[in-house]
Amino acid sequence: MLREENYWLTTVRPIAVEEHPLPPSVDAAIIGGGYTGLSAARRLAQAGLNVAVLEANTAGWGASSRNGGMVLTGLKLGVETLLKRYGLEMSQRLFTFSLAAIDTVEEIVMQEKIDCSFSRTGCLEVAWKPSHFDGYARAAEQQEKFFSHKSRVLTRQELPAEIGSDLYHGGLMEEISAGINPGQYVLGLAQAAHHAGAVIHENTRVMSLERNGNGYTLNTKRGSLRATKVFAATNGYTTDATPWLNRRSIPVGSYIIATAPLPEGLARQVIPNNRMIFDSKHYLYYFRLTPDRRMLFGGRAAFFPESGNAVRQSAEILRQGMLQVFPQLAGIPVEYCWGGTLCFTFDMMPHAGEKDGLHYAMGYAGHGVAFSTHLGRLVAEKMLDLPVENPIAELPFPGAPLGLYSGFPWFLPFAGAWHKILDWVA
């Protein structure tokens, strides 16, 4: 029986967040209680600041509890594009940053003893077309030469050692990426922020901000408070409460199904070494096994941010996609389906920095588990006036071409259709 419910949240014990009245003022207010906001809250509270996390729903409600749990190296943009756009030195700093981001997740998981099945499983990209496979050898060579990062090209004949599917034309594999239970991780992070002294205010949507003196007044559904420092950590759920960020962030829906637990032999046949796997399509599929051996299969089944209707339609689209990849799962029921909203930007890069005294970090596309945790921490350290190595903060944050965007992504269905065409043309 299909449940329209986030499977990860069935594996966690909800944390008890006490309802506190809003204080009249705090040192730091953080808007959004996902990885970005909670990682920042933990760091700021550890430094002794009086911190309020203002979350419109509940802690971890957004993408942070809903994602695939793939903690990936690199960025959304491939090595070649990075080198062309940013040159060698900046590309090296960006790639190194992506590795440091995974280390940050691991360090926090260890320090805070978060029980979330963090494991360096490695990841595998599989080639949807022969031409995609042809690019892998060059990508592996460039990664090793410029970033000292080792990856291995797998021919079509070598793939069965890593994936029980004959759909793909080869693969590119590396061993640094990790898998995690994102629901357990985000709630562990919320506990850690709480233990450090941050106060999480749930059901406290920030409706508007007013700049005054050297801080802001934040008007929320539960009243107003003043904060000397403010961090917007709203990613794909950004609204016109922060119009400058809203005009720069593109919310995109992504959906996931999870099957019933697979028999051990079948699980070992479909993904023998527990890799995090995604394919090379524009309209990509990503998949992995959960710690209890469910096939978790995700994709951009519908392009708009999630809604009840889109979740139901996506369940069937993704089930068909899963059977195309793994026909041997035909008899396995799909038990869960849910969606969430990612944040893309107009240059496909994450962004972090400060605008008019408002700190922000967002736009991680599908690489947010590691980047959000790391950038949350680094932006917090910047707020503390500590020196930080953050190449992301040096990137200009572009808006839409010709300014033709106010926060409603009217162009997504067209972009989605175009991507589908690109995936299917020979």
List residues near ligand FAD by CB under 6 A: 31-37, 54-57, 61-64, 66-70, 72, 205-206, 233-237, 239, 241, 254, 256, 298, 340-342, 364, 366-370, 372
Q: In the bound complex, what is the minimum distance in angstroms from residue 190's beta carbon to ligand FAD?
A: 11
Nearer to ligand FAD, 64 or 151 (CB): 64
**Both tokens assigned to 259:** 């099957």
DSSP string, 281-347: -SS-EEEEE-TT--EEEEE-SSSSSP-HHHHHHHHHHHHHHHHHH-GGGTTSPEEEEEEEEEEE-TT
Residue 100, token pair as written in the block:
């440091």
Q: Which amino acid is at 192?
A: A
d(CA 70, CA 194): 25
> What would you measure as the largest C-alpha separation in the chain, in angstroms?
65
Identity of the residue, 298 or 353, whose beta carbon is nearer to ligand FAD in the bound complex: 298
Amino acid 179 reads G
When the beta carbons of 208 and 328 are compared against ligand FAD, the nearer one is 208
Give the nearest distance from C-beta 367 to ligand FAD in angstroms.
Answer: 5
Nearer to ligand FAD by Cβ, of 55 and 162: the residue is 55
Least Å from the CB of residue 278 to ligand FAD: 8
Distance of alpha carbon 9 from alpha carbon 183, whole angstroms: 6
- Asked whether the beta carbons of 350 and 375 are under 8 A apart, the reply is yes
> Looking at beta carbons only, is 205 or 419 nearer to ligand FAD?
205
Least spacing, CB of residue 371 vs ligand FAD, in Å: 7
Compute the least distance from the CB of residue 68 to ligand FAD, in Å.
3
Helix, strand, coil percent content, the chain, rounded in steps of 5 = 40, 25, 40
Q: How far is the CB of 149 from ligand FAD (least distance, A)?
A: 17
Q: Name the residue nearer to ligand FAD (CB basis): 37 or 263.
A: 37
Cα separations in angstroms, 87 against 141, 143, 229, 291, 324: 17, 14, 34, 40, 39
Residue nearest to ligand FAD (CB): 368
